[in-house]
Amino acid sequence: MNIINHKKEFEELGSSIIPGVFNASEINAMIDLLEQAKPEPGTLIENENLFAIRQLLIQVPGLSDLIFTPYFSQIFLQLASADYFLSKAIYFDKAGQSNWFVAYHQDLSISVKEKASVTGYRHWTLKKGQYGVEPPLEILENTITIRIHLDNTGAENGALRIIPKSHKKGIHRFRSAEANLKGEQVCEVQKGGIHIMSPLLMHASSRSSSKQARRVIHLEFNSANLAKPLEWLEYLRIDSISPLSI
């Protein structure tokens, strides 16, 4: 399947998996850099189930050079227009022994610099000094999420489960009794593959029955301007972080 077909699949189903985007050497270089990172404490999430770094490309200098390879950049430019920018980057490391289950949901929150009362922006949160808010639907529809898998992720290892095409229903709350679980898909992704998703796609995180690591770099891209005075917390132009001239 070529990249154009992956784009069509993403638009139709809300999800597409592209294997082998990064080779073993490239993935190992990312892991080495992440293990040596010294992020600011306020950007960390640490508990028995999860280690995470928010504002990832700011906190781990050099990681963007490893991510935006010529091949990844080529894929990205066929998925999105050149005016897209990075609006969120998180590193997730789910503990191998974790049996953590996350119910079906949509990713409805964006991160902004400051809180402000603006029509259409609701459900404000404040976590470790970082403001989150649910923006208008059109901003979420404009978002492209790309998950880079640093480990093999299968059904026994906490792979995401999705409801294909559910991203076309707008913002809605999941009720299992109403769901077409017969259409549910398990998103198995091999190390070095990427998973392209809409944040409006209903997805759940499976429990793990193995001890294997589940490390993922989660990137969100957008091209929308927020209503003033709101500003994106993370705003990184792709032409400023990609090795290619785009």
Q: Is residue 97 assigned to a domain?
A: yes
Tokens of 90: 């998180």
Secondary structure of residue 177 in the 3-state scheme: helix
Query: What distance in Å separates the CA atoms of residue 193 and residue 23, rounded to the nearest whole number?
Result: 9
Query: What distance in Å separates the CA atoms of residue 153 and residue 214, rounded to the nearest whole number?
Result: 7
Domain that includes residue 234, residue range = 3-240
For residue 119, pLDDT over 60 is answered with yes
Q: Is residue 34 assigned to a domain?
A: yes
Query: What distance in Å separates the CA atoms of residue 68 and residue 50, rounded to the nearest whole number?
Result: 26
21: DSSP letter: S
CATH of the domain at 216: 2.60.120.620
Degrees to nearest 5, angle at CA 179 with 102 and 213? 25
Q: Is residue 245 assigned to a domain?
A: no
Task: Point out the least confidently predicted range of 35-44, 110-119, 163-172.
Answer: 35-44
Degrees to nearest 5, angle at CA 108 with 42 and 246? 80
Share of the chain above pLDDT 70, in %: 87
Q: Is residue 218 assigned to a domain?
A: yes
Q: Is residue 246 assigned to a domain?
A: no
Where do we find the tokens 């392209």? 196
For residue 176, pLDDT over 60 is answered with no
Query: What distance in Å separates the CA atoms of residue 146 and residue 88, rounded to the nearest whole number?
Result: 11
Q: Is residue 200 assigned to a domain?
A: yes
| Cis preceding linkage at 229, omega within 30 | yes
Q: Which amino acid is at 152?
A: N
pLDDT digits (tens, 9 = 90+) for 197-237: 999 999 998 766 666 788 999 999 999 999 999 999 999 98
DSSP calls for 160-213: EEE-TTGGGG-S----GGGS-GGG-EEE-B-TT-EEEE-TTS-EEEPPB-S---
pLDDT digits (tens, 9 = 90+) for 58-110: 999 899 999 999 999 999 999 998 899 999 999 988 765 555 678 899 999 99
169: DSSP letter: G
Query: What distance in Å separates the CA atoms of residue 181 and residue 90, rounded to the nearest whole number?
Result: 29
Total number of domains constituting the chain: 1
Find, among 91, 94, 90, the residue nearest to 48 by Cα.
94
What average pLDDT does range 182-191 have in this prediction? 91
